[in-house]
Chain A
Amino acid sequence: MAEAMSCDVVIVGTGAGGGILAHELAKSGLRVVSLEQGGMLAPDYFRTEVPPGATKDFGIGPDTTWPSDPHDSLFVHPLFADGTVGSTSRPAGGFRHFQVLAVDGLQNLWNGVSVRFSPKDFRGFPFSYGTLAPHYSAVERMISVCGTVENLAELPDGDFLPPKPLRPADRLVVSAVEALGEPHSHAIPNRKAINTRAGTAASCISTGMCTSGCPVGAVYKFSARLLPEIVNLPNYELRTHAKVVRLLRQPGARQLSGVEYIDTRNGERKVLDARIVVLAAGALETPRILFNSADEADPRGLANRHGQVGLKLQDNPKVVLSTSLWKLWGKRRDYDIGYGDLLILLSQGRLPDGTSFPFIGHAIHGLADVPHYLAGLKPFPPFVKERLAQMMFHSYVTLGLFCAGEPTPSNRVLPGRTADRYGVPQVEVDFSIPDSAHAKMDAMALWARRVLRRASATSIYSTRDNSGTGIHYAGTTASARDPNEGVVDAQLKAHDIDNLYICDGGVIPVLPDKHLTLTIMALAHRLSRAIVRQAAEQDALSA
């Protein structure tokens, strides 16, 4: 569709939530415009420009550091936005907020782990697992999730493609978890949004890791799967380089008239009128847009009459432990390396007060072509180092475990004092790690050590964090029945504005241990149905 001045629905952002919404709403026949701050990555971006691992320039980029923390390698990708364009100015030492400002958002680099929240996980939500279950199924089919049916109450099954086969390292971890003899501990095939069907143009070719971007489009992202189905529809437009800065309305009105955005190529300010606005810009950017939309009637920002916008920012506390398994020393690879992390781990940790808590994670065994292991070989002279590195090359295993976030009101996003390069005010983050998160990280690390030791671990390198590097941001525009508890209602409609919806991690009120993105997508699928109904009702009224 040619550049429209108005539309039925404007969707801000093309990430996890924005992508599913665009697809469903465009297919429904509504006139839809996706406004996206970034551009579209070149089709060969992850094949030739920034390929995975050591393929190009030995895996060294502008921001690689020496000495570096091997567990930090995930966070230096050139796609991550810096403080000149991001939602925050990314001050040193603060909460580390990661954003990818491009079509597909963070899903350009995501790992694809796609798990359903369990019925228990919905305890703090204004709706139940049952409400979302059909939407989980629909999304799993749209994005194709591989996995196995396990009948575990804590991890509901879905509609799965077959996973890739387990490898010797995985089998050692599975045996180690079984040997713990704990009924609540499980090591099962991972559930990832990956096309594992053989023989298609976008089949997984087993590069051994997904977090550097997929060179063949096998990991789900909007532009690889769903955008091609709608891009030529006359009622759909993807407008890139369009940075939404604020929502527009008559002061005090409960209806928005549209949005104002900046064309980032020339700095021009533009307006797009819309009957319905959906913010899917991420759990920090969406509050930013709401704050920056303040007017006389709502000086604290739109949808913020009850002062809830930005509160209760959560991210999953996590521990990461890496080791070399001596039982794999000297082994050559005669197996499919697959997508790197073929196992999901589930268990429960015990806190000093005797209570227990659930956690989830994955076991990673990829190619060590980028030699992060060198830090561990530091004490050895070069000749010995070389021999050891060869012998141990296929023996490395990393366990990454996550537990639930905590909805603490003082951990929050608030209007900032800085502006980005377009002059748009940024937000700041107040975040301190809750004491309970420290205790949970201790317990998870203990469990991981027990598993790794049983799997024949040698020296273990361990890190932990809960200040943004989980990259599972939630809670800042929480969904709640009571406007004093959240920003949107159970349908994700803003309590204060009748034609504003939010659909990103921000609406998840209580972040469980599990990866949240499949839930964002299921929420988007459900929301698309509600929006179609609302638009039809409006049409009926105006007729």
Chain B
Amino acid sequence: MTAMAKAAPSAGSTEMPYDAEDLMRAIIAFGPYRAVLIPLCDEIARIGLGNRQIHAALHTVAERSGFAATGRLRRADLGPEAAPLRAFLEHIRFASPAFLRSVGEWPLGEARG
């Protein structure tokens, strides 16, 4: 676990801090893109925490599941947050180096002339 991934709960909350990287790994494991996304997990957790909507969704899921205490997550714990989290991960799958390489567009940020 990286320090970056140790996510504090929302202000005023008495919840324990949870490990965002572990939580993200558990969420990714439910989805169809785990083979590509698990190796990117630390990066995905960092980006998720930096995004307002995903940050909030992670907190909600962590609180709902008691993830900080148990380290366990059931699919049902994702609740209404399942949809944005799935879309977030799918976005990363299709913007990933592996996918962009498969369409001949990796690396990015270079001349396309």
Do the two chains bind? Answer: yes
**Is A402 positioned at the interface, with any CB of B under 8 Å from its CB?**
no
Q: List 6 A-B contacts (CB under 8 A).
A: A66-B91, A205-B113, A206-B111, A207-B109, A215-B109, A370-B91
Residues of A within 8 A of B95 (CB): 54, 58-59, 369-371
A55, A64, A206, A374: the one contacting B112 at CB < 8 Å is A206
Asked if B100 is at the interface (CB within 8 A of a chain A CB), the reply is yes
Min distance, Cβ B21 to any Cβ of chain A, angstroms: 16
Contact with A along B60-90 (1 / 0, CB 8 A): 0000000000000000000000011001101
Interface size on B, residues (CB 8 A): 30
A332 lies within 8 A of chain B by Cβ: yes
Q: Which residues of B contact A369 (CB under 8 A)?
A: 95, 100, 105, 108
For A53, the chain B residues whose CB sits under 8 A away are 108-109
Q: Measuring CB to CB, which residues of chain B are less than 8 angstroms from any residue of chain A?
A: 32-33, 47, 50-54, 83-84, 87-88, 90-92, 94-96, 99-100, 102-105, 108-113
Q: Is A63 in the interface zone, CB < 8 Å from B?
A: yes
A60–B91 contact, CB under 8 A? Answer: yes
Measured between beta carbons, the chain A residues less than 8 angstroms from B52 are 62-63
CB distance from B91 to the nearest CB of A (A): 6
B32 contacts A382, CB within 8 Å? yes
- Whether A66 contacts B112 by the Cβ 8 Å rule is no
CA distance A191 to B7 in the complex (A): 48
In the bound complex, do residue A55 and residue B87 qualify as a contact, i.e. CB atoms below 8 Å apart?
no
Minimal beta-carbon separation of B17 from chain A (angstroms): 21
Distance to closest chain B CB from A68 (angstroms):
8
- Does A410 reach chain B (CB closer than 8 Å)? no
Return the chain B residue nearest A382 by Cβ: B32
Q: What 19 additional pairs, Cβ within 8 angstroms, besides A206-B111, A393-B105? A: A55-B109, A58-B92, A58-B95, A58-B96, A64-B53, A67-B84, A205-B111, A205-B112, A207-B112, A332-B103, A333-B112, A336-B112, A367-B112, A370-B91, A370-B95, A371-B94, A371-B95, A389-B99, A393-B103
List, in ascending order, chain B residues with CB within 8 A of A383's CB.
32
Mostly, the A contact residues are loop
Q: Given the complex, which residues of B lie within 8 Å of A367, measured CB to CB?
A: 105, 108, 112
In the complex, whether A65 has a CB less than 8 A from a CB of chain B is yes
Please name all residues of chain A whose beta carbon is closer than 8 Å to the beta carbon of B54 when the two chains form the complex: 66
Residue among A55, A374, A386 making CB contact with B91, cutoff 8 Å: A374
Name the one of B32, B102, B103, B113 contacting A394, with C-beta atoms under 8 angstroms: B103
**Residues from 354 to 391 in A contacting B, C-beta threshold 8 Å:** 367, 369-371, 374, 382-383, 386, 389-390
A51 at the interface (CB under 8 A from B): yes
Chain B residue nearest in CB terms to A339: B112
Per the bound structure, the CA–CA distance linking A333 and B112 in Å amounts to 9
Q: Give per-residue flags for A303-341: 1 if the beta carbon is below 8 A from chain B beta carbons, else 0.
A: 000000000000000000000000000001100111000
In the complex, the chain A residue whose C-beta lies closest to that of B110 is: A205
Complex Cα distance, B37 from A382, in Å, reads 14
Contacting residues, chain A, for B88 (C-beta < 8 A) = 60, 66
